[in-house]
Amino acid sequence: MEIGTQIKKFRTDSKLSQDELAERIYVSRQTVSNWETGKSYPDVNSLVLMSETFGVTVDALLKDDVQVMKDVIAKGDPKSFLAINRLLNALFVLMILTPIPLARFLRFGGLAIWFGIAAVALYVAVLAERKKKELNIQTYKEIVSFIEGKHLDKTESAVEEGKRPYQKVLITIVIVVLTIAVEAAMFIWLK
């Protein structure tokens, strides 16, 4: 966050000590110090008083912090996104590896089990896609950046948006080919 840097910059430009600024906006010197070091964030009233003291707008004090805060709130916790994706991956592996053995050994009961796995996988896939749309992350690079807590700049985001349709098609083709190959190998092996 930039607010601490901005407060210190405007305070030094105004030739004010932390004590003098604290006195003008009715807080302690330690509070100003905490803002400048990023240990805490000023409340709205303090922001307004600082903007008046420095002769700048609140927007100038906040600089890029408003967008950063919106991004943090919108993006949420990557742990829930990772959990959904791990579950989805496990279900896809089960869908690929189990149909022939289940059908061969359990007949129609095995197929019913497989269709149950497929139904759960479809539901989780819909949840994952909703989450990706909500977070506006679709390509591999966007997902990795999100998980690592990084932000793509505007140029990188535009490039990644252009890749989205192609990556989905490529992933679908790879999954279909992999599934056919695994199923063929299992069919031959179990024959």
Contact 26, 53 (CB under 8 A): no
Q: Which CATH class is domain 3-72?
A: mainly alpha
pLDDT tens, position by position, 149-173: 777 777 887 888 888 788 878 888 9
pLDDT on residue 77: 64
- pTM for this entry: 0.51
Domain limits of the chain?
3-72, 76-190
Average pLDDT over residues 85-102: 91
What percent of the chain has pLDDT above 90?
A: 30
- With bands split at pLDDT 50, 70 and 90, how would you rate the model's confidence at 20? very high
109 vs 65, more confident: 109
pLDDT on residue 19: 94
Contacts 24+ apart (CB under 8 A), 179-182: 179/95, 179/96, 182/96, 182/97
pLDDT on residue 146: 76
What percent of the chain has pLDDT above 70?
A: 91
Contact 128, 121 (CB under 8 A): no
Beta carbons within 8 Å of 58's beta carbon, 6+ residues apart:
47, 48, 51
Least confident of 27-36, 57-66, 111-120, 156-165: 57-66
Least confident of 36-45, 65-74, 120-129, 135-144: 65-74
